[in-house]
Amino acid sequence: MIIASIRRIFASFRTEEEERLYSRAAFFNLLGFLGSCVLFSFVAQQLSRNPRELAHIARADALLRALQG
Question: pLDDT tens across 6-38, in order?
Answer: 888 888 888 889 989 999 999 999 999 999 999
3-class DSSP state for residue 1?
coil
pLDDT on residue 51: 66
DSSP string, 7-69: HHHHHTTS-HHHHHHHHHHHHHHHHHHHHHHHHHHHHHHHHHH-HHHHHHHHHHHHHHHHHH-
The chain-wide mean pLDDT, for the chain, equals: 87
Q: Of 53 and 58, which is predicted with more confidence? A: 58
